[in-house]
Structure 1
Amino acid sequence: MLVYTWSVHFIHLYWLTIIGCSCGILFLLLLVVSILKFIFQPRRVTLELIHAEVVVYLLIGLCGIFIYGLIKVMHPGSFSHANPSSSSFVFSYFSFVTLTILGYGDISPIAQVAQSSAILEAIIGQLYLTVLVARLVGMQIAQGDAGEDCSRDHGCGFDIIR
Structure 2
Amino acid sequence: MAEQQKLPPLVTALRAAAGENAASFHFPGHNRGRAAPPSLTKLIGQRPFIHDLPELPELDNLFAPEGPILEAQKQAAELFGASETWFLVGGTTCGIQAAIMATCNPGDTLILPRNSHMSAISAMVLSGVIPKYISPDYDCDWDIATAVSPSEASSK
Larger Rg: 2
Q: Hey, which of these two has a bigger chunk of strand by percent? A: 2
Q: Taking structure 1 as the reference length, what is the TM-score of the superposition? A: 0.28
- TM-score (normalised: structure 2): 0.29
